[in-house]
Amino acid sequence: MSEGLAEQKIGFLGCGAMARALCGGLVAGGVPKAHLRGSDPNPSQRENFADSLGIETTGDNEVLVASSDIVVLCTKPGLVAEAIGALPETLRTEPRLWISIAAGIRLSALEQSLGTPSRIIRVMPNTPALVGQGASVFCPNASANESDRAAAESLLAWVGTTWEAPNEEMLDAVTGLSGSGPAYVFLFLEALAEAGQKQGLPREAADALAFQTVLGAARLAIESELSPAELRAQVSSPGGTTVAGLAELDRAGFRDAVDRAVTAATHRSRELGE
């Protein structure tokens, strides 16, 4: 059973891809299905959620919120204020924990929508959560308590790793790194596999080799006591093939390009939150 979530009724407001991933993690973690529920105005999203997870759904957000100790806000960011605003005031102000995964929606904006000193935790997940390999960061508001933190932490731990940011400002950098990061890695995978094909490999083999190389290198970096720089040095014999390849990445400004990508995405996240 997930620590901090044992007796809680958890409602997912919005039954899209991220809600399915998070709710699926809780089911895998042993949270009783009767404690979980989803709401969505879209019947096909409800059906998908119910069929894939075996969880009850409703088309009525009021029903969901009224029956939940924790509400996980999983709509697109632009719809969060509207969805909260459509709830009757009593439901907005009753004591419960609100967890928002909406990118760029600040705690102050959520506090304003809910209207009272509510217990809120803002989360920045990423898409690998869909396969239980997410990297999520969370940040509680001043009203959230220790058991709220523990609940958010165990919810996120079921779909990957999680870290509590010491302040909300860091969530922009988190968005620039791990939120947008899967797309940078997908671009690298495309480039790596295409380059392999250009050197004569069949497409399927090039894809499989590229995917497994990135997965394996990341696993090695996680499990090894050596830093990525030391691991790189280990496979770079003078005059060898890897050194020849790395020299080209250096000449092309690879490190600087990654730095500029994270900087641009961090700035964009800051702009969107203003």
Ligand X SMILES: NC(=O)c1ccc[n+]([C@@H]2O[C@H](COP(=O)([O-])OP(=O)(O)OC[C@H]3O[C@@H](n4cnc5c(N)ncnc54)[C@H](OP(=O)(O)O)[C@@H]3O)[C@@H](O)[C@H]2O)c1
| Number of residues binding to ligand X, judged by CB under 6 A | 26
Minimum separation from the CB atom of position 94 to ligand X (A): 18
Q: Does 55 bind ligand X (CB under 6 A)?
A: no
Using the contact rule CB under 6 A, the part of the chain among 38-46, 110-118, 187-195, 220-228 near ligand X is 38-46
106-125: which residues touch ligand X (CB under 6 A)? 125
208-267: which residues touch ligand X (CB under 6 A)? none
Query: How far is 183 from 255, CA to CA, in rounded Å?
Result: 16
157-216: which residues touch ligand X (CB under 6 A)? 179
Minimum separation from the CB atom of position 182 to ligand X (A): 7
Minimum separation from the CB atom of position 33 to ligand X (A): 20
Q: How far apart are the first and last CA of the chain?
A: 39
Pick the closer one to ligand X by CB: 141 or 175: 175
Among 102, 114, 137, 171, binds ligand X (CB under 6 A): 102
Minimum separation from the CB atom of position 82 to ligand X (A): 6
Q: Does 41 bind ligand X (CB under 6 A)?
A: yes
Entry field: residues in the chain: 274
Q: Does 18 bind ligand X (CB under 6 A)?
A: yes
Q: Are 16 and 77 a contacting pair, CB within 8 Å?
A: no
**Three-class secondary structure assignment of the chain:** CCCCCCCCCEEEECCCHHHHHHHHHHHHCCCCHHHEEEECCCHHHHHHHHHHHCCEEECCHHHHHHCCCEEEECCCHHHHHHHHHCCCHHHHHCCCEEEECCCCCCHHHHHHHHCCCCEEEEEECCHHHHHCCEEEEEEECCCCCHHHHHHHHHHHHCCEEEEECCCCCHHHHHHHHHHCHHHHHHHHHHHHHHHHHHCCCCHHHHHHHHHHHHHHHHHHHHHCCCCHHHHHHHCCCCCCHHHHHHHHHHHCCHHHHHHHHHHHHHHHHHHHHC
Q: Does 66 bind ligand X (CB under 6 A)?
A: no
Pick the closer one to ligand X by CB: 31 or 80: 80
Among 36, 55, 101, 107, binds ligand X (CB under 6 A): 101
Q: Does 127 bind ligand X (CB under 6 A)?
A: yes
Q: Does 45 bind ligand X (CB under 6 A)?
A: yes
Phi, psi at residue 159, to the nearest 5°? Answer: -120, 25
Pick the closer one to ligand X by CB: 18 or 53: 18
Among 65, 83, 99, 135, binds ligand X (CB under 6 A): 83
Pick the closer one to ligand X by CB: 45 or 266: 45
Query: How far is 44 from 258, CA to CA, in rounded Å?
Result: 39
Q: Which residues bind ligand X (CB under 6 A)?
A: 13-19, 39-42, 45, 61, 74-77, 79, 83, 101-103, 125-127, 179
